[in-house]
Amino acid sequence: MKVAGKNFLIGHTALELREWATGSGEAAFRGGQIAGWIYRNNVIAPEEMKNLPGALRTKLAETFHAPGTAVADETRSGDGTRKLLLRLADGETVEMVLIPGGDDRLTFCLSTQVGCPVRCRFCASGRDGLIRNLAAGEILEEYLLGIHAAGNRRPDNLVFMGIGEGLLNFDELAAALEALTDPERFGMSPRRITVSTSGYLPGMRRFAELGREYNLAISLHASDDATRARLIPDPLRYPVEEILAEADHYLERAGRMVTLEYTLLRGINDRPSDAERLARLARLHHAKINLIAYNETGGGEFSRPPRNVIENFEKIIADAGAHVTLRVERGGESAAACGQLRRMHREGKEKEK
């Protein structure tokens, strides 16, 4: 997919780059050198590819975005979480987050769309709907800019839980995943990659059909359809039962246990009966539960339940024998909630006008 009239250099295989080189009147081995810079050294700026002739570097820069994306801003929170605001080639913006973990682990959280068509009512990213899909090259540039920000360090884990419903941008996401896991390109294990979905059924089926060991996280947020309807509007909301049947299919096809993401919202989905039903469903469908204490973004109709309610909710699930973890959102104090940094910038700009 082209953006602002150009394709992206990142993502091409060595074979494609050799073909491009010969088609441009260069020796084929130059394509292998370019692939080496990208996939071994994390370099895509042609001016840094020191063993290429100057004319070839110029040609590369003219032909491709290399890169098309730049870091426009960054916020850091006390726990070391860093959020980058990325400006795309056409001026749109997305966010990616670098999340440190125990044992010196590093996780990147990537976006897949500019805005989001699902428009979950508690989410800043979905407020304005979808602006456009990201190209595979843009998703890969997010990954690369994260590596540069981390001091040329590759992440241990990748999660697609940033802005957007990735499975609604299936072809570009699948192409990016292919480049990330191809041993000749970035060579990451699919088991270290998690794709999150709001439960978009047609995309879940296609994702299962890839037959790869990616992790799938389903943002369920409610264990019954009536409560879910208060959080996720039509037409992109599917029945809980059908989503979980599709999760069964994923487990069968990919051999990976699915995670049910559940954002706890005060007075909405935090009753003991919600916990009991959620635990029952998780056990029935061999899924893990990840509870997320809602990150209050200021204003809005939702709030985080008190600590004792959160702890009791977790305990009910654990006592019922389901696998449960609790994530207290990191970086709340630095606009690290999904979509906030981007929104802050846009609102700032509008005020300037």
Contact residues for ligand SF4, defined by CB under 6 A: 116, 118-120, 123, 125-126, 163-165, 198, 338
95 is known as an active-site residue: yes
d(CA 235, CA 76): 36
| Closer residue to ligand SF4, CB minimum distance, 124 or 281 | 124
Check: CB of residue 19 under 8 Å from CB of residue 31.
Answer: yes
Q: Which of 95, 142, 165, 246 is catalytic?
A: 95
| Closer residue to ligand SF4, CB minimum distance, 35 or 222 | 222
347 is known as an active-site residue: no
Q: Which of 142, 252, 338, 350 is catalytic?
A: 338
| Closer residue to ligand SF4, CB minimum distance, 165 or 172 | 165
d(CA 174, CA 166): 9
| Closer residue to ligand SF4, CB minimum distance, 41 or 303 | 303
| Closer residue to ligand SF4, CB minimum distance, 109 or 147 | 109
| Closer residue to ligand SF4, CB minimum distance, 119 or 343 | 119
- In whole angstroms, how close is the CB of 273 to ligand SF4 at the nearest point? 24
Write b or e for each residue in 208-229: b if 16 or more Cβ atoms lie within 10 A of its Cβ, otherwise e: beeebebbbbbbbbbbbeebbe
- In whole angstroms, how close is the CB of 27 to ligand SF4 at the nearest point? 45
Angle (CA) 92 165 286, round 5°: 155
- In whole angstroms, how close is the CB of 165 to ligand SF4 at the nearest point? 5
| Closer residue to ligand SF4, CB minimum distance, 69 or 111 | 111
- In whole angstroms, how close is the CB of 327 to ligand SF4 at the nearest point? 14
- In whole angstroms, how close is the CB of 166 to ligand SF4 at the nearest point? 9
- In whole angstroms, how close is the CB of 94 to ligand SF4 at the nearest point? 11
With CB atoms as reference, the residue minimizing the distance to ligand SF4 is 126
- In whole angstroms, how close is the CB of 181 to ligand SF4 at the nearest point? 23
Read off φ and ψ for residue 262, nearest 5 degrees.
Answer: -140, 105
d(CA 108, CA 149): 11
How far does the chain reach from its first CA to its final CA, in angstroms?
32
Read off φ and ψ for residue 219, nearest 5 degrees.
Answer: -80, 90
Active site residues: 95, 338
